[in-house]
Amino acid sequence: MIPRSLGSAARRLTAASTRACASSAYAARRPCPPSHGDVAGDDEILPTPHRPEPEERRRGEHRREFSFITMASRDHSSLTQQLLEFQHDTVDEVGAEHDPFMDLKARFMDFKQQNYVEKFSNYQNLAEQQTPKFMVVACADSRVCPTSILGFQPGEAFTVRNIANLVPPYEHGGSETSAGLEFAVNSLQVQNVLVVGHSRCGGIQALMSMKDDSSSGSFIKKWVSFGKSARLSTKAAAGNLSFDMQCTHCEKESINSSLLNLLTHPWIEKRVNECTLSLHGGYYNFVDCTFEKWTLEYREGMEGGSKYAIRNRSTWS
Protein backbone atom coordinates (compact mmCIF):
# COMPACT_ATOMS: atom_id res chain seq x y z
CA MET A 1 0.00 0.00 0.00
CA ILE A 2 1.37 3.46 -1.03
CA PRO A 3 1.57 6.00 1.86
CA ARG A 4 -0.86 8.89 1.60
CA SER A 5 1.93 11.54 1.55
CA LEU A 6 3.58 9.91 -1.45
CA GLY A 7 0.25 9.60 -3.29
CA SER A 8 -0.48 13.33 -2.81
CA ALA A 9 2.96 14.26 -4.06
CA ALA A 10 2.50 12.11 -7.13
CA ARG A 11 -0.86 13.72 -7.86
CA ARG A 12 0.62 17.23 -7.55
CA LEU A 13 3.49 16.26 -9.90
CA THR A 14 1.08 14.85 -12.49
CA ALA A 15 -1.08 17.98 -12.42
CA ALA A 16 1.94 20.25 -12.87
CA SER A 17 3.15 18.18 -15.78
CA THR A 18 -0.30 18.36 -17.41
CA ARG A 19 -0.39 22.17 -17.08
CA ALA A 20 3.10 22.46 -18.59
CA CYS A 21 2.17 20.31 -21.57
CA ALA A 22 -0.99 22.31 -22.19
CA SER A 23 0.96 25.56 -21.98
CA SER A 24 3.54 24.29 -24.46
CA ALA A 25 0.86 23.14 -26.88
CA TYR A 26 -0.88 26.52 -26.68
CA ALA A 27 2.40 28.34 -27.26
CA ALA A 28 3.10 26.22 -30.30
CA ARG A 29 -0.33 27.04 -31.80
CA ARG A 30 -0.32 30.72 -30.89
CA PRO A 31 0.78 33.04 -33.71
CA CYS A 32 4.09 34.84 -33.17
CA PRO A 33 3.89 38.53 -32.21
CA PRO A 34 4.62 41.02 -34.96
CA SER A 35 8.27 41.92 -35.47
CA HIS A 36 9.54 45.50 -35.62
CA GLY A 37 9.30 45.65 -39.39
CA ASP A 38 5.77 44.21 -39.63
CA VAL A 39 2.45 46.03 -39.63
CA ALA A 40 -0.01 44.79 -37.02
CA GLY A 41 -3.64 44.80 -37.90
CA ASP A 42 -6.66 42.76 -36.91
CA ASP A 43 -4.68 39.66 -37.93
CA GLU A 44 -1.19 39.17 -36.64
CA ILE A 45 1.43 38.92 -39.41
CA LEU A 46 4.19 36.37 -39.12
CA PRO A 47 7.72 37.75 -39.44
CA THR A 48 9.52 37.30 -42.75
CA PRO A 49 11.62 34.15 -42.60
CA HIS A 50 15.37 34.70 -42.54
CA ARG A 51 16.85 34.38 -46.00
CA PRO A 52 20.46 33.30 -45.97
CA GLU A 53 23.00 35.54 -47.63
CA PRO A 54 24.89 34.17 -50.68
CA GLU A 55 27.84 33.12 -48.52
CA GLU A 56 25.49 31.32 -46.12
CA ARG A 57 23.80 29.61 -49.08
CA ARG A 58 27.17 28.49 -50.38
CA ARG A 59 28.06 27.08 -46.99
CA GLY A 60 24.71 25.32 -46.90
CA GLU A 61 25.24 23.88 -50.38
CA HIS A 62 28.73 22.78 -49.37
CA ARG A 63 27.29 21.04 -46.32
CA ARG A 64 24.68 19.28 -48.47
CA GLU A 65 27.35 18.28 -50.99
CA PHE A 66 29.61 17.02 -48.21
CA SER A 67 26.66 15.13 -46.76
CA PHE A 68 26.05 13.50 -50.15
CA ILE A 69 29.73 12.57 -50.53
CA THR A 70 29.77 11.15 -47.02
CA MET A 71 26.64 9.12 -47.74
CA ALA A 72 28.10 7.85 -51.04
CA SER A 73 31.33 6.95 -49.26
CA ARG A 74 29.39 4.98 -46.67
CA ASP A 75 27.46 3.23 -49.43
CA HIS A 76 30.44 2.01 -51.43
CA SER A 77 32.36 1.21 -48.25
CA SER A 78 29.46 -0.98 -47.21
CA LEU A 79 29.48 -2.73 -50.60
CA THR A 80 33.24 -3.28 -50.39
CA GLN A 81 32.84 -4.77 -46.93
CA GLN A 82 30.24 -7.18 -48.29
CA LEU A 83 32.75 -8.29 -50.94
CA LEU A 84 35.41 -8.86 -48.30
CA GLU A 85 33.04 -10.99 -46.25
CA PHE A 86 31.73 -12.88 -49.28
CA GLN A 87 32.52 -16.58 -49.47
CA HIS A 88 34.05 -18.10 -52.61
CA ASP A 89 31.86 -20.09 -54.99
CA THR A 90 28.59 -18.96 -53.44
CA VAL A 91 25.89 -18.83 -56.09
CA ASP A 92 22.18 -18.36 -55.54
CA GLU A 93 20.53 -21.65 -56.34
CA VAL A 94 17.47 -19.95 -57.79
CA GLY A 95 18.14 -19.03 -61.42
CA ALA A 96 21.75 -20.25 -61.38
CA GLU A 97 21.17 -22.26 -64.55
CA HIS A 98 20.35 -18.99 -66.39
CA ASP A 99 23.35 -17.06 -65.03
CA PRO A 100 25.36 -15.72 -68.04
CA PHE A 101 28.48 -15.70 -65.88
CA MET A 102 28.54 -19.47 -65.62
CA ASP A 103 29.86 -19.61 -69.19
CA LEU A 104 32.38 -16.88 -68.45
CA LYS A 105 33.56 -18.80 -65.40
CA ALA A 106 34.21 -21.87 -67.57
CA ARG A 107 36.17 -19.74 -70.04
CA PHE A 108 38.19 -18.20 -67.23
CA MET A 109 39.09 -21.60 -65.84
CA ASP A 110 40.19 -22.72 -69.32
CA PHE A 111 42.34 -19.60 -69.60
CA LYS A 112 43.90 -20.25 -66.22
CA GLN A 113 44.79 -23.86 -67.06
CA GLN A 114 45.83 -23.37 -70.68
CA ASN A 115 47.52 -19.97 -70.46
CA TYR A 116 48.34 -18.79 -66.96
CA VAL A 117 49.62 -22.09 -65.61
CA GLU A 118 51.58 -23.00 -68.75
CA LYS A 119 53.15 -19.52 -68.98
CA PHE A 120 53.41 -18.92 -65.26
CA SER A 121 56.80 -17.18 -65.31
CA ASN A 122 55.60 -14.76 -68.01
CA TYR A 123 52.55 -13.79 -65.96
CA GLN A 124 54.72 -13.37 -62.86
CA ASN A 125 56.88 -10.90 -64.78
CA LEU A 126 53.76 -9.05 -65.95
CA ALA A 127 52.63 -8.84 -62.34
CA GLU A 128 55.72 -6.74 -61.63
CA GLN A 129 55.59 -4.40 -64.65
CA GLN A 130 54.19 -3.85 -68.14
CA THR A 131 56.20 -2.75 -71.17
CA PRO A 132 53.76 -2.70 -74.12
CA LYS A 133 54.97 -1.64 -77.54
CA PHE A 134 51.51 -0.53 -78.67
CA MET A 135 48.92 1.94 -77.51
CA VAL A 136 45.64 1.07 -79.26
CA VAL A 137 42.61 3.35 -79.60
CA ALA A 138 39.73 1.19 -80.81
CA CYS A 139 35.96 1.34 -81.00
CA ALA A 140 33.82 -0.02 -78.18
CA ASP A 141 31.77 -2.02 -80.71
CA SER A 142 31.35 -5.60 -79.46
CA ARG A 143 32.33 -6.95 -82.91
CA VAL A 144 35.70 -5.20 -82.90
CA CYS A 145 38.06 -6.60 -80.27
CA PRO A 146 41.65 -5.64 -81.15
CA THR A 147 43.04 -8.44 -78.98
CA SER A 148 41.09 -11.06 -80.96
CA ILE A 149 41.64 -9.46 -84.37
CA LEU A 150 45.36 -8.75 -84.05
CA GLY A 151 46.28 -11.47 -81.56
CA PHE A 152 47.70 -9.21 -78.86
CA GLN A 153 49.00 -11.16 -75.89
CA PRO A 154 48.84 -9.87 -72.29
CA GLY A 155 51.34 -7.05 -71.85
CA GLU A 156 51.64 -6.20 -75.56
CA ALA A 157 49.01 -3.46 -76.01
CA PHE A 158 47.70 -0.74 -73.74
CA THR A 159 44.15 -0.25 -75.03
CA VAL A 160 41.45 2.41 -74.78
CA ARG A 161 38.09 1.82 -76.44
CA ASN A 162 35.43 4.47 -77.04
CA ILE A 163 32.55 5.27 -79.37
CA ALA A 164 33.87 5.52 -82.96
CA ASN A 165 37.55 5.24 -81.86
CA LEU A 166 37.90 9.04 -81.72
CA VAL A 167 40.85 11.03 -80.34
CA PRO A 168 39.81 14.51 -79.16
CA PRO A 169 42.26 17.37 -79.77
CA TYR A 170 44.55 18.42 -76.93
CA GLU A 171 42.70 21.74 -76.57
CA HIS A 172 39.54 19.90 -75.54
CA GLY A 173 41.04 19.06 -72.16
CA GLY A 174 40.83 15.87 -70.16
CA SER A 175 39.06 12.72 -71.26
CA GLU A 176 39.54 9.01 -70.68
CA THR A 177 41.24 8.72 -74.06
CA SER A 178 43.59 11.64 -73.38
CA ALA A 179 44.49 10.23 -69.97
CA GLY A 180 45.23 6.84 -71.53
CA LEU A 181 47.44 8.44 -74.18
CA GLU A 182 49.35 10.45 -71.59
CA PHE A 183 50.03 7.37 -69.47
CA ALA A 184 50.95 5.14 -72.41
CA VAL A 185 53.28 7.66 -74.07
CA ASN A 186 54.89 9.31 -71.04
CA SER A 187 54.93 6.53 -68.46
CA LEU A 188 54.95 3.30 -70.47
CA GLN A 189 56.84 4.89 -73.38
CA VAL A 190 55.07 2.88 -76.07
CA GLN A 191 56.67 2.96 -79.50
CA ASN A 192 53.46 2.89 -81.56
CA VAL A 193 49.99 4.40 -81.34
CA LEU A 194 47.43 2.56 -83.48
CA VAL A 195 43.94 3.95 -84.11
CA VAL A 196 41.61 1.16 -85.28
CA GLY A 197 38.35 1.92 -87.07
CA HIS A 198 35.91 -0.54 -88.57
CA SER A 199 33.05 -1.16 -90.99
CA ARG A 200 29.40 -0.34 -90.20
CA CYS A 201 30.34 1.84 -87.22
CA GLY A 202 27.27 3.09 -85.37
CA GLY A 203 29.18 6.08 -84.00
CA ILE A 204 30.10 7.23 -87.50
CA GLN A 205 26.51 6.73 -88.64
CA ALA A 206 25.41 8.99 -85.76
CA LEU A 207 28.02 11.56 -86.82
CA MET A 208 26.91 11.53 -90.45
CA SER A 209 23.23 11.78 -89.41
CA MET A 210 23.74 14.88 -87.25
CA LYS A 211 22.08 18.13 -88.22
CA ASP A 212 24.36 21.14 -88.49
CA ASP A 213 22.28 23.09 -85.98
CA SER A 214 21.70 20.13 -83.66
CA SER A 215 21.69 21.00 -79.94
CA SER A 216 20.90 17.61 -78.47
CA GLY A 217 21.65 16.61 -74.89
CA SER A 218 22.78 13.17 -76.06
CA PHE A 219 26.17 12.10 -74.74
CA ILE A 220 26.77 10.16 -77.96
CA LYS A 221 26.17 13.16 -80.20
CA LYS A 222 28.38 15.39 -78.07
CA TRP A 223 31.17 12.80 -78.23
CA VAL A 224 31.02 12.07 -81.98
CA SER A 225 31.04 15.81 -82.69
CA PHE A 226 34.83 15.53 -82.32
CA GLY A 227 34.68 13.97 -85.78
CA LYS A 228 32.98 16.94 -87.44
CA SER A 229 36.05 17.74 -89.54
CA ALA A 230 35.97 14.20 -90.93
CA ARG A 231 32.26 14.63 -91.64
CA LEU A 232 32.90 17.86 -93.56
CA SER A 233 35.70 16.25 -95.58
CA THR A 234 33.43 13.31 -96.36
CA LYS A 235 30.60 15.56 -97.53
CA ALA A 236 33.03 17.38 -99.81
CA ALA A 237 34.59 14.23 -101.28
CA ALA A 238 31.67 11.78 -101.31
CA GLY A 239 28.54 13.88 -100.86
CA ASN A 240 27.06 12.53 -104.10
CA LEU A 241 27.24 8.90 -102.91
CA SER A 242 24.70 6.93 -100.90
CA PHE A 243 24.55 7.37 -97.13
CA ASP A 244 26.13 3.96 -96.51
CA MET A 245 29.03 4.76 -98.85
CA GLN A 246 29.49 8.14 -97.18
CA CYS A 247 29.70 6.38 -93.81
CA THR A 248 32.32 3.97 -95.18
CA HIS A 249 34.35 6.92 -96.43
CA CYS A 250 34.00 8.73 -93.11
CA GLU A 251 35.05 5.64 -91.14
CA LYS A 252 38.52 5.96 -92.69
CA GLU A 253 38.49 9.76 -92.80
CA SER A 254 37.84 9.90 -89.05
CA ILE A 255 40.87 7.66 -88.39
CA ASN A 256 43.11 10.18 -90.17
CA SER A 257 41.41 13.00 -88.28
CA SER A 258 42.22 11.24 -85.00
CA LEU A 259 45.84 10.73 -86.12
CA LEU A 260 46.15 14.48 -86.71
CA ASN A 261 44.52 15.17 -83.34
CA LEU A 262 47.18 12.98 -81.73
CA LEU A 263 49.80 15.47 -82.91
CA THR A 264 48.05 18.31 -81.05
CA HIS A 265 49.24 16.66 -77.81
CA PRO A 266 52.68 18.21 -77.15
CA TRP A 267 54.23 15.09 -75.63
CA ILE A 268 53.16 13.04 -78.67
CA GLU A 269 54.43 15.59 -81.20
CA LYS A 270 57.75 15.76 -79.34
CA ARG A 271 58.33 12.00 -79.47
CA VAL A 272 57.22 11.76 -83.11
CA ASN A 273 59.74 14.46 -84.00
CA GLU A 274 62.39 12.53 -82.06
CA CYS A 275 61.48 9.36 -84.04
CA THR A 276 60.75 7.45 -80.82
CA LEU A 277 57.01 7.19 -81.53
CA SER A 278 55.10 6.22 -84.68
CA LEU A 279 51.41 6.86 -85.43
CA HIS A 280 49.38 4.31 -87.39
CA GLY A 281 45.86 3.88 -88.70
CA GLY A 282 44.01 0.59 -89.09
CA TYR A 283 40.64 -0.30 -90.61
CA TYR A 284 38.94 -3.64 -89.91
CA ASN A 285 36.18 -4.68 -92.29
CA PHE A 286 34.30 -7.47 -90.52
CA VAL A 287 32.04 -8.06 -93.54
CA ASP A 288 34.84 -9.62 -95.62
CA CYS A 289 37.46 -9.90 -92.82
CA THR A 290 40.14 -7.62 -94.22
CA PHE A 291 42.45 -5.23 -92.40
CA GLU A 292 44.06 -2.10 -93.84
CA LYS A 293 47.08 -0.58 -92.15
CA TRP A 294 48.98 2.66 -92.81
CA THR A 295 51.46 4.96 -91.07
CA LEU A 296 51.23 8.74 -90.73
CA GLU A 297 54.49 10.49 -91.54
CA TYR A 298 54.94 13.89 -89.97
CA ARG A 299 57.88 16.20 -90.69
CA GLU A 300 58.60 19.62 -92.10
CA GLY A 301 59.55 20.22 -95.73
CA MET A 302 57.95 17.20 -97.38
CA GLU A 303 57.17 17.15 -101.07
CA GLY A 304 54.29 19.45 -101.93
CA GLY A 305 54.77 21.60 -98.86
CA SER A 306 52.65 19.45 -96.58
CA LYS A 307 53.81 18.20 -93.17
CA TYR A 308 51.77 14.98 -93.42
CA ALA A 309 51.86 11.92 -95.64
CA ILE A 310 50.60 8.32 -95.67
CA ARG A 311 53.32 5.69 -95.77
CA ASN A 312 53.56 1.89 -95.63
CA ARG A 313 49.96 1.26 -96.59
CA SER A 314 49.01 -2.42 -96.90
CA THR A 315 45.90 -4.58 -96.94
CA TRP A 316 45.74 -7.93 -95.13
CA SER A 317 43.18 -10.28 -96.65
Q: How far apart are CA 158 and CA 16, in angstroms?
A: 79
195 contact partners, CB below 8 Å, separation of at least 6: 136, 137, 138, 165, 167, 255, 258, 259, 262, 279, 280, 281, 282
What residue type is 128 in one-letter code? E
**DSSP, res 160:** E
How far from each other are the two terminal CA atoms of the chain, in whole angstroms? 106
Residue positions counted in the chain: 317
Q: Where are the alpha helices (DSSP H) in the chain?
A: 4-29, 54-85, 101-111, 120-128, 146-150, 176-182, 202-209, 219-224, 228-238, 243-262, 266-273
Contacts 24+ apart (CB under 8 A), 266-273: 266/170, 267/182, 267/185, 267/186, 268/181, 268/185, 268/193, 269/298, 271/185, 272/298, 273/298, 273/299
SS (H, E, C) 219-273: HHHHHHHHHHHHHHHHHHHHCCCCHHHHHHHHHHHHHHHHHHHHCCCHHHHHHHH
245 contact partners, CB below 8 Å, separation of at least 6: 238
* CA of residue 107 relative to chain centroid, distance: 27
201 labeled part of a ligand binding site: yes
198 labeled part of a ligand binding site: yes
Residue 291, class by beta-carbon neighbours within 10 Å (0-12 exposed, 13-18 middle, 19+ buried)?
A: middle
32 labeled part of a ligand binding site: no
Strands 157-162 and 134-139: parallel
Give binding residues for Zn(2+) as ranges: 139, 141, 198, 201
Feature table: binding site: 139, 141, 198, 201
